[in-house]
Chains A and B, each alone.
Chain A
Amino acid sequence: MRAVSWHGKEDIRVETFPDPQIVNPRDAIVKVSITAICGSDLHLYTGRIPTMHAGDILGHEFMGEVVAVGHEVSNLQIGDRVVVPFTIACGGCYFCKHDLWSLCDNSNPNAWMVEKLYGHSPSGLFGYSHMLGGYAGGQAEYVRVPFADVGPITVPEGLSDEQVLFLSDIFPTGFMAAENCQIREGDTVAVWGCGPVGLFAIWSAYKLGAGQVIAIDRFPERLKLAREYCKAKTLNYEEVDVFTMLQELTGGRGPDSCIDAVGSEAHGTTLDAWYDLAAEKLLLETDRGHVLRQVIHSCRKGGTVSIPGVYGGFLDKVPIGAAFGKGLQLRMGQTHVHRYLPRLLEYIREGELDPSFLITHRSSLEQAADMYRIFEQKQDECIKVVLQT
């Protein structure tokens, strides 16, 4: 099969790999129809996530047709069209049973690596480094999907692939970011970052009862989508002082909740470098924290800060004093995709949202290297890239 593989910093290739096969009884093999490049894939592209090996297959947002199932998978039929959650979860452990799917105990074969760093390991992910499982990713013609009896959701007739693809990650991720805000009717929610996750967070915040949503970015095309499609008030942080404007829009209180949908770019390329930081507690910064600092500064007293953006390593100068002094709640974490799938699919079916609105680039898998470059450099007003196999 053909697949997109990582070979180092800004070195993406499309190569031929052996087709994956059923290994465990709860596996399925999915023949990918379309797959997307995620903002978090750019952290891999720029070589900032440790434990990547040359030849690793990338991609965690994908969907397609079931072409094989293990003998324990009874809910899927050959030929079913499915979207696959990017988080891999077993369905049987304490965390899965408590609807905390991205914290599954049993899906990361390399859990020991993360345990050294974090104390415990979150779930495995498709195509996202060896410390998070080392699973071959979805920017490929075929993918082996473990625990296929609890993950993939079958897509009903009448919906296009592009309408449902983002159930794999960014739509649930934006939705959970808004849900973490614990919005009450009429609340003001501010969203930093109008990339795909930010845009879905804006839509979801209104869905969950927000009275006004204020979106912050610097790219005009992203602010335009936030304004015109998602009905947010928009602030260009290169043109206005964000803190001042947010206070003006909220009678000096500050937004009731704030979403950091920018996240980090991790520095330090080896796991050892991260371990050293953990061991020696050196206050070097591996995650870019200025957005989070501004979020905490701007949020109203007693408000909620929600962090869907990916933070991986260490963050210096987090104003914990401000967060404490203002009685803020910080809520964060990887998305529990499985939890949201039925509800979000229903929104799409009822026509409340067509998630394909943010696709700006469509290309073939063979063009992946070019598309990574265009996306990383934000050329050509690129917001979301979808690759066809």
Chain B
Amino acid sequence: MKTGLMNSTCSSSQSAKQCPLSQNVANSERVLSLLGGGSLLLMGLRRGSGAGLLGVAAGASLLYRGWTGHCHLYEGLGINTAESQRTRPGVASHQGSKVHSALHINRDRQEIYEFWRNLENLPQIMQHLESVTVIDEKRSEWVARAPFGKTLQWEAEIITDKPGEVIAWQSLPGSQVDTAGSVHFKDSSTGAGTELVVSIMYNPPGGQIVTQIAHLLGQDLQTELNQDLREFKQLLEAGEIATNAIAPEPGQIQKPVMFDLKVDKS
């Protein structure tokens, strides 16, 4: 992987610190950085506000890494996307954006597991997913809403499935996006209900820095996952999603939930 826009003079085994201008940004990403950086820079300069200045800074940094193939942010995070060009499925543990959430749901472990095991249910609880279509026992086709109104598509397979304990999945090689996720279930130490740990990793096209910009624009995956899981918990424990509305929204679409939502009020 050394067919960069600029010749890399460092071997991939050398650390970025030893070679400060080494290429640690993959090629496709460098193109995106150039495009995105230029437009952010222009937008930022035109607006001149606080957000505009952030845009200038982010834009300038994208341009820089697009030209040089080097990103200070990645260096700081210890990430090198030039090393792995989708040669293996999923996301390496040190890459991409990782979101993580732990919660207690006062419901039976098996029924929560079964809901998650049918991956087609996930778009009901995850805002950023548009659809999941199960192809066979292992494989499924995912469509997600991406920043800037785009969609992303990938094929994933279930890599671990221990009924009632853990489900893990990851995208297959050749996908538009590298992603992996897992959910662990265990009986709560409180003696009732289930403790869930949900982890999702994305290495979106454009990489870490685009995630950073999406974050600046308010599209924060971690916040979104927390809110998604909070609403999932509310549906299971309270039978409805808490709202401070004083009237139903006009044309409000009730989230269809395939769960038996009988609330235990005893």
Interface residues, chain A, with chain B CB atoms under 8 Å away: 17-18, 20-26, 72, 88, 90-94, 97, 105-112, 124, 133-136, 144, 146-147, 149-150
- Whether A23 touches B239, Cβ cut-off 8 Å, given contacts A91-B265, A97-B106, A106-B233, is no
Asked if B199 is an interface residue, CB under 8 A from chain A, the answer is: no
Closest to A27 in B: B240
Contact A105 to B233, CB < 8 A, known contacts A93-B238, A147-B238, A150-B265: yes
- Quick one: which of B236-266 are within 8 Å of A by CB? 237-248, 263-265
In the docked arrangement, what's the CA distance between A25 and B240, Å? 7
Knowing A92-B106, A93-B106, A112-B226, the reply to whether A23 touches B245 (Cβ < 8 A) is yes
**Chain B residue at smallest Cβ distance from A142:** B246
Which applies to chain A's interface (DSSP): helix, strand, loop or mixed?
loop
Q: A91-B238, A112-B227, A124-B242 are in contact. Are A23 and B233 (CB under 8 A)?
A: no
Say whether B242 contacts A107, CB under 8 Å: yes
Q: Is B234 positioned at the interface, with any CB of A under 8 Å from its CB?
A: yes
Chain B residues closer than 8 Å to A106, beta-carbon distance: 233-234, 237-238, 242
Given A92-B263, A92-B264, A18 and B246 touching (CB < 8 A)? yes
Count class of interface residues, chain B: 20 to 34
Closest to A150 in B: B265
A105 touches which of B237, B244, B245, B246 (Cβ 8 Å) = B237
Which residues, 169 to 213 on B, are CB-close (under 8 Å) to A? 190, 192-193
Q: Which of chain A's residues have a CB closer than 8 A to the CB of B240?
A: 24-26, 72
Residues A21 and B248 in contact, CB atoms below 8 Å apart: yes
Given A22-B248, A133-B242, 4 more pairs with CB closer than 8 A: A21-B247, A91-B263, A97-B106, A134-B244
In whole angstroms, how far apart are the Cα atoms of A136 and B246 in the complex?
8
Shortest beta-carbon distance, A308 to chain B, in Å? 25
Q: List 12 A-B contacts (CB under 8 A).
A: A18-B246, A18-B247, A21-B247, A24-B243, A26-B238, A91-B238, A91-B265, A93-B233, A94-B106, A112-B223, A133-B242, A136-B246
Complex Cα spacing A124 to B230, Å: 14
Bound CA–CA A105/B241 (angstroms): 12
The 3 closest A-B pairs by CB, nearest first: A90-B238, A20-B246, A92-B237
- The answer for the CA separation of A18 and B247 in the assembled complex, in Å, is 9
Interface assignment of B104: CB less than 8 Å from any CB of chain A: yes
Q: How far is the CB of B48 from chain A (nearest CB, A)?
A: 22
Contact B237 A93 (CB under 8 A): yes
- On chain B, the residues within 8 Å of A150 by CB distance are 265
B243 touches A23 (CB 8 A): yes
Q: Are A146 and B242 in contact (CB under 8 A)?
A: yes
Enumerate chain B residues within 8 angstroms of A72, measured Cβ to Cβ.
239-240, 263
Known pairs A21-B246, A144-B246; A92 contacts B238 (CB<8 A): yes
Measured between beta carbons, the chain B residues less than 8 angstroms from A110 are 244
Selected contact of A149 from candidates B226, B244, B265, CB within 8 Å: B265
Residues of A within 8 A of B233 (CB): 93, 105-106
Q: B242 contacts which of A21, A108, A112, A149 (Cβ < 8 Å)?
A: A108
A191 smallest CB distance to B (angstroms): 35
Least CB distance, B90 to chain A, in whole angstroms: 29
- Residue from B238, B242, B265 with most neighbouring chain A CB atoms (10 Å): B242
Give the distance in Å from the alpha carbon of A92 to the alpha carbon of B233 in the complex. 10
Which residues does chain A contribute within 8 Å of B246, judged by CB atoms?
Answer: 17-18, 20-21, 23, 136, 144
How far is B242's CA from A17's CA once the two chains are assembled, in angstroms?
22
Among A23, A94, A124, A135, the residue within 8 A (CB) of B192 is A94
List of B residues within 8 angstroms of A93 by Cβ:
106, 233, 237-238
Chain B residue nearest in CB terms to A89: B238
Query: Which of B104, B227, B234, B246 has the largest count of A CB atoms less than 10 A from its CB?
Result: B246
Contacting residue for B104 out of A88, A90, A94, CB 8 A: A94
User: Which residues of chain B are within 8 angstroms of A20 by Cβ–Cβ distance?
Assistant: 246-247
Q: How far is the CA of A96 from the CA of B10 in the complex (A)?
A: 60
A279 to B23, CA, bound (A): 35
Q: B239 touching A26 by the CB < 8 A rule?
A: yes
Contacts of A136 in B (CB 8 A): 244, 246
Q: Is the CB of A111 within 8 A of B230?
A: yes
A150 to B106, CA, bound (A): 17
